[in-house]
Amino acid sequence: EPEVTQTPSHQVTQMGQEVILRCVPISNHLYFYWYRQILGQKVEFLVSFYNNEISEKSEIFDDQFSVERPDGSNFTLKIRSTKLEDSAMYFCASREGLAGPYEQYFGPGTRLTVT
Amino acid sequence: AQTVTQSQPEMSVQEAETVTLSCTYDTSESDYYLFWYKQPPSRQMILVIRQEAYKQQNATENRFSVNFQKAAKSFSLKISDSQLGDAAMYFCAYRCEETSGSRLTFGEGTQLTVNP
């Protein structure tokens, strides 16, 4: 069964450094998402992406964040200058279609630790 | 703005027994979906069950079923014949079909413990 993959599984970085989290969505999916989950808290939406542009973003997704689909397979989340409060689990998800019963398939997540 | 509330931070159940996890939501939209996701210690998000708001019939997937009360904006998950592998964090989630990106909005989660 096709699945969403994410790399790395765990990233440790120093405050102020840039990080890029990578995701490979399911191949025929058209809609892509990033969510984050701070330890012990609920999963929060960051951004959705379709047709090479952002469809929707939350208030969390400020100028420090950016997303890109650099080629036909990868979908990346960049944090330009990490803060301690960016430490969280980051989940990528993809979806085949927009309206209707198409579900979002989640990747296994990348645990980001900012020291 | 849509909100999802899970009022039970923790629940426990004996193996083979039945447990019900509660979820309420608030929305002014008419076209939406509701979901229950399971998150085991690996932290992978696994879809358990889905309910379309326009369907009156409650969704069922094997031992998992929902009680969807649209007027009350309530969406509870019933797990029958609980198994040790059901132990996990369970998140209720809402998705509106009328927004451009169809984001998922999650509740705070309920940590389910299954006692042998």
Residue A7 clears pLDDT 70, i.e. is over it: yes
pLDDT at A18: 98
Residue B74 clears pLDDT 90, i.e. is over it: yes
Residue B67, Cβ neighbours under 10 Å: how many?
15
Q: Are B65 and B93 in contact (CB under 8 A)?
A: no
Q: Output phi, psi for B109, to 5 deg.
A: 100, 150
Q: Give the residue from A43, A94, A111 with the most B CB atoms within 10 Å of its CB, the best one to mutate.
A: A43
pLDDT tens digits, residue range B85-108? 999 999 999 998 766 668 899 999
pLDDT at B15: 97
pLDDT at B102: 82
User: Across the interface, do A106 and B33 touch by the CB < 8 Å criterion?
Assistant: no
